[in-house]
Chain A
Amino acid sequence: MNINILAFGIAKDIINGSTLGMEIQEGMTVGDLKVKLISQFPDFEKLRSLAIAVNEEYQEDDFVLSEKDEIVIIPPVSGG
């Protein structure tokens, strides 16, 4: 299945764009996605943290992704 990932902050610089299409297998988890992102874009490993939000909520590594989810790369936040 195909997913479309949104990027913000430094994640946009790392993927060189604000969205990233990816073909993934059924049952892929947030943890699997992080591994795939780091292998494709090693700069993600240099960040202080790397989180994934699915449908506007932070999700742990065991969360399973679906095609219709809104998936967002959340690099270290720095609001306030």
Chain B
Amino acid sequence: MIDIQLKDTPIFPQDCIDFVADAGTGGSTVFIGTVRNETKGKKVLRLEFESYAPMAISEMRKIAEQASERWSCTKVSIHHRVGILAIGEIAVIIAVATPHRKAAFEACEFCIDTLKETVPIWKREFFEDGDVWVAAHP
């Protein structure tokens, strides 16, 4: 079972944990991505995430489906936030439940790594002296 959410309001780890809780689960892992206060030594004031929403949701679903197949996940929950976020706020949560422990770590890592490569969401960092679209240039 898969739960994908893209929201412009705060997201909560417990929601993802509750979704993946299952009697058939031997272990679950949770990744929480938060807004860091600096990039390469420069103070970050806030972040803005923009998305191409329908495709972001379908790409996150594909990732969850691939993980489910490869690691026999019983459940996967991915919540991503968009809009303006302050330092320390949660940008993404991934919870994965599998029958055995090792697969839970691997599947969760696969989900966040692939999300960063394929899901059409863009992060803009705001500094004291300007802003930049993250990872846009080599």
Contact = CB atoms under 8 A, between A and B. Distances in A.
A4 to B, nearest CB: 15
Contacts of A74: 52, 120
Interface stretch (A6-14, A23-31, A33-41): A6-14
A57 B135 CA distance: 21
Interface string A48-80: 100001001110000000000000101111111
Interface residues of B, number: 29
A79 B52 contact: no
Main secondary structure of the interface of A (DSSP, over half): loop
Contacts of B83: none
Contact of A56 (B33, B55, B115, B135): B55
B137 interface: yes
Contacts of B137: 46-48
Contact of A79 (B54, B58, B122, B133): B122
A57 B112 CA distance: 20
B7 to A, nearest CB: 13
B118 interface: yes
A26 to B, nearest CB: 26
A71 to B, nearest CB: 12
B65 to A, nearest CB: 14
A79 B116 contact: yes
B72 interface: no
Contacts of B51: 8, 79
Contacts of B120: 8, 53, 72, 74, 77, 79
Q: Which 6 A-B pairs have the closest CB atoms?
A: A79-B121, A9-B122, A10-B133, A78-B134, A78-B123, A56-B55
